[in-house]
């Protein structure tokens, strides 16, 4: 009997402690970072330039917390586009050639965040959070343009299937709405080689602003 009472007390305590539970949906804006990382480039390369892109993400989140500390896992789908130009000298024809790359990025992101409420009021709160982030390639595509058929240059691009990074940011909650601003620190998603030498990387890190609605 004592064991049953003790178990009941533990169950009641746990349910009271973790009384704060939220489930919701969210969507927002993702801004990619442009780069000009030439790496170990061949002598016939002139320049690599990428353009800043604006992406979109949407998904669901859950939040479980107690005493101002909470755990928030999320499941998000992110999408966006990026234009990339590579200018090199064709050693066969001794002329400059610019190759255009058009990249459509699709990823499944799973942030696992731990946060702390700096300000906790009845109708509003302010938070800080950080945690690991898992990213999976989900339909990213690459196309090339302006490549001559007769050239001594070989361009190859490889996209990573999965990555692990770090995410941190600030957030505020007002009633059932939540607003987050965060930064993703994650490795390069694409790596390009030119004639077998490492050429450039397209970074996976980005700045994110999202608006959520707590359904529960």
pTM: 0.72
Domain 21-214 has CATH 2.40.160.20: yes
Q: Which residues of 117-137 are buried (b: 16+ CB within 10 A; e: fewer)?
A: beeeeeeebebebbbebebeb
pLDDT digits (tens, 9 = 90+) for 104-136: 778 899 999 999 999 988 899 999 999 999 999
Distance spanning both ends of the chain, measured CA to CA: 36
Residue 131's alpha-carbon distances to 51, 58, 88, in angstroms, are 28, 19, 41
What token pair was written down for 151? 């050239």
Counting runs of H as helices and runs of E as strands, what totals does the chain give?
1, 13
Q: What is the pLDDT of residues 65-98, one digit of tens each?
A: 988 899 999 999 988 777 767 676 655 666 666 7
């Amino acid at each position: 009997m004592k064991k049953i009472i003790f178990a009941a007390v533990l169950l009641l305590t746990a349910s009271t402690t973790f009384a704060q539970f939220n489930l919701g949906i969210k969507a927002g804006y993702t801004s990619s970072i442009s780069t000009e990382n030439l790496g170990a480039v061949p002598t016939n390369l002139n320049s690599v330039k990428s353009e800043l892109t604006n992406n979109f993400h949407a998904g669901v989140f859950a939040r479980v917390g107690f005493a101002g500390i909470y755990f928030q896992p999320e499941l998000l789908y992110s999408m966006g586009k990026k234009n990339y130009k590579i200018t090199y000298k064709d050693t066969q024809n001794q002329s400059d050639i610019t190759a255009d790359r058009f990249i459509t990025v699709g990823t499944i992101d799973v942030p696992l965040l731990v946060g702390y409420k700096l300000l906790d009021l009845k109708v509003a709160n302010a938070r800080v959070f950080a945690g690991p982030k898992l990213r999976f390639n989900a339909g990213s595509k690459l196309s090339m343009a302006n490549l001559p058929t007769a050239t001594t240059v070989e361009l190859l691009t490889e996209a990573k299937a999965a990555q692990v990074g770090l995410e941190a940011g600030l957030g505020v909650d007002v009633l059932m709405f939540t607003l987050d601003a965060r930064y993703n620190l994650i490795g390069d998603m694409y790596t390009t080689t030119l004639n077998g030498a490492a050429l450039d990387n397209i970074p996976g890190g980005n700045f994110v602003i999202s608006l959520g609605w707590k359904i529960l």
